[in-house]
Amino acid sequence: MTAPRATKTRTPKIRENLPAPQTDEGLYFHYTPYEAARWAPFSGRTIADMIARREIDYVFNGRDNYLTGAQILALVERYTVKPFAKTARATVAA
């Protein structure tokens, strides 16, 4: 005899018509980790795990974790790789 199988998989609810984080309305809007993943360089699950490990700033309302638009922009900026710029000394030697 085998164990019964689950009939449903839990999928996070994602609201529609969300403001972009870089807009005036979006800077203070509260996004769930799965909604924030649309603009961030990570998946919703990874963002939720980062929140659980306290690696990134987030908003806790007593029950759920959220990210504001400003926090999403800071997260994107933190993990953006800047192009390498040659120093003046390197260009003179070449």
Residue 11 lies in a domain: no
pTM beyond 0.85: the answer is no
Average pLDDT over residues 63-76: 95
CA separation for the pair 90, 94 (Å, rounded): 6
Instruction: Decide if pLDDT at 25 tops 60.
Output: yes
* Amino acid residing at 30: H
- Residue 73 sits at φ, ψ, to 5 deg, of -65, -40
Query: How many independent structural domains does the chain possess?
Result: 1
Residue 69, domain member (yes or no): yes
Per DSSP bridges, beta strands 59-60 and 30-31 are unpaired
Contact 48, 12 (CB under 8 A): no
The predicted pLDDT at position 10 comes to 78
Residue 89 lies in a domain: yes
Which tens digits make up the pLDDT trace of 2-11? Answer: 777 777 777 8
**What is the domain range of residue 79?**
19-94
Strand-pairing partners, residue 60, are 65
Task: Check residue 9 and give its pLDDT.
Answer: 76
pLDDT of residue 34 exceeding 90, the answer is yes
